[in-house]
Amino acid sequence: MNGLSAPFGVYVHIPFCVHRCGYCAFATWSDRHHLESEYLDALEQDIRDAVSLGMPVASSIFVGGGTPSLVSPDRLSAVISSIPRHEGAEVTVECNPDDVSVDLLSEFQSAGVNRISLGVQSTIPHVLASLDRSHDVRNVNTAVECIRSVGMTSFNLDLIYGTAGESVDEWRSCLAELIDYDPPHISAYALTVELGTPLADQHERHPDDDDQADKYVVADEMLSAAGLENYEVSNWALPGHECRHNLLYWRQQNYRGFGCAAHSHENGRRWWNVRTPDRYISSIRDGVSVEAASEDLEPETREFERLELQLRLREGVPRQTLDGEALQGLVDLVDGRWVLTRDGRLMANEISTRLIVSPTVAGDG
């Protein structure tokens, strides 16, 4: 990538799934696979239009969903290939372990894909069942072997912890199994209850805050001991394998989203697309905007959000933006910046309410 160019990300949303998990609030559908070809056509047209209007060249591309590995790999590769990107750009595709094969990955590589994000969630069968996940845990090992056999050196294993019925020992076992794969990156997200999901109505399955805190500590201890460094509250990586696309989000940089419900950001303006694949396809076909709504952030709001995201990163926030002296044990002063400790990461949301926004910090990186 040209060192003079500002980072710019492209997100591509694939909304198709085999079935919808009970905790998922994303724009995904299990009954609209008949729209796949038209949807991929619409994506390519949308990208071509954006390029013709001067969309910046991408430093990172992320294909998420839904389950991108469900759709025709050659068609998805064509969509990815249509996105101009810098040499050395990070290009990631989310995959379900059951779908991964050498042929699939080789097709993706032909489009420049160099990173896979594998939705493992758990290696404990009853935990996967509780999450409504259907993949075979044995296929996690197969998927990792395939990723390595095609020469992809960067990949991510995604986990969810805090599911009802999951013991701390089972969580420890799950982490140990993944660490044995010697991955360059692991994400571990606390299960959250989203409004409108089946999980929201099943109170007996809601996660326990204390249990999740205990499991976070276990994760940080085990992953750190394995050489994976925590660089964002829920993400650990070997040096050089941090997800550049997600860092772009966390640093409030610019990105463009393609597909139904995809979000975009440009210099304080955020907008999002129509939610359903049907409406997205018809809008592209009819030549009308796919934008559903937008918002322009006030400077103070934008600055607060930037600091709130920065606080979650290992780089922390400038000293003058937080009264760290009042947060003993939750933050450390490192090179003039307040950085969350492990205990602080458990309270990141609460600590962010203490951030001080003033004109003197505007534009600080």
CA-to-CA dists, residue 58 to 54, 75, 111, 251, 310, angstroms:
12, 20, 14, 16, 22
> Which residues are paired to 255 by β-bridges?
9, 265
| pLDDT value for 2 | 45
CA dist 295 and 303 (Å) reads: 15
**What does the pLDDT look like over 190-201, one tens digit per residue?**
999 888 888 788
Question: Considering only 41-50, 101-110, 356-365, which range has the smallest mean pLDDT?
Answer: 356-365
Adjacency order of strands within the sheet including 8-14? 229-232, 235-237, 185-190, 154-161, 115-121, 85-95, 58-65, 8-14, 254-258, 263-266, 269-273, 291-296
**What does the pLDDT look like over 224-268, one tens digit per residue?**
999 999 999 999 999 999 999 999 999 999 999 999 999 999 999
Do 234 and 319 lie in a common domain?
no
Question: Considering only 15-29, 120-134, 254-268, which range has the smallest mean pLDDT?
Answer: 15-29
Do 73 and 181 lie in a common domain?
yes
Asked whether residue 172 is domain-assigned, the answer is yes
Asked whether residue 277 is domain-assigned, the answer is no
- How many folded domains does the chain comprise? 2
CA dist 329 and 320 (Å) reads: 18
Tell which of 220, 249, 278 closes a domain: 249
Q: What mean pLDDT comes out for the span 185-211?
A: 88
| pLDDT value for 193 | 81
Q: What mean pLDDT comes out for the span 338-349?
A: 98
> Domain of 62?
8-249
Tell which of 213, 234, 249 closes a domain: 249
Do 208 and 355 lie in a common domain?
no
Asked whether residue 278 is domain-assigned, the answer is no
Question: What is the residue-wise DSSP string for 198-214?
Answer: GGGG-GGGPPPHHHHHH
Asked whether residue 261 is domain-assigned, the answer is no
Asked whether residue 256 is domain-assigned, the answer is no
Do 236 and 325 lie in a common domain?
no
| pLDDT value for 359 | 58
Determine the 3-state secondary structure of 102 from DSSP. Answer: helix
| pLDDT value for 4 | 54
Tell which of 189, 217, 249 closes a domain: 249
| pLDDT value for 132 | 85
- Whether residue 149 is predicted with pLDDT greater than 90 in this model: the reply is yes
Give the CATH number, domain containing residue 32.
3.20.20.70
Adjacency order of strands within the sheet including 331-334? 317-318, 337-340, 331-334
Asked whether residue 257 is domain-assigned, the answer is no
| pLDDT value for 360 | 46
